[in-house]
Amino acid sequence: RTSSVWSAAASASRVAFIGRGPLGVSVHDATREALAAALHTDEVRRLDGAFEVRVDGAQAGVGGTNSWDLRARPTDEYRLLEKRYAYGFVLCPAASLREAGALSRGVEYGAE
């Protein structure tokens, strides 16, 4: 998901990821390396009882007009053109998705 204000991982122990701004959050049952190494989905080496969570402040890559060419690139509005980026998030325990949403409205951040 992209542009999420909060996201929650629903498992035996739930965790809410609450962003200072919009976040990109992805959860996979395989590592990035395992996904890159596999040519087909049935070749992906899955994690046993674990997940890899990635939380990003920004994501580039959508909005391309030429996906069939090696020189394809997103249009400027979808590119990350700044030299530096910063983002922040808080991890909070949450008993339910409803609680995660309520927590996201009550998080206070210290001075930066």
Per-residue pLDDT tens for 34-88?
A: 999 999 999 999 999 888 888 888 766 655 555 666 566 777 777 778 778 888 8
Name the more confident of 38 and 20: 38
| Mean local confidence (pLDDT), 27-40 | 91
Residue 45, token pair as written in the block: 């080496």
The set of residues, in sequence order, having a beta carbon less than 8 Å from that of 61 and lying 6+ positions away, is 74, 78
Decide if pLDDT at 110 tops 60: no
Name the more confident of 7 and 63: 7
The predicted structure's pLDDT at residue 39: 92
The predicted structure's pLDDT at residue 8: 65
d(CA 106, CA 101): 9
Q: What per-residue string of b and e applies to 68-106 under the rule 16 or more CB within 10 Å gives b?
A: eeeeeeeeeeeeeeeeeeeeebeebebeeeeebeebbee
| Mean local confidence (pLDDT), 80-106 | 80
The predicted structure's pLDDT at residue 40: 93
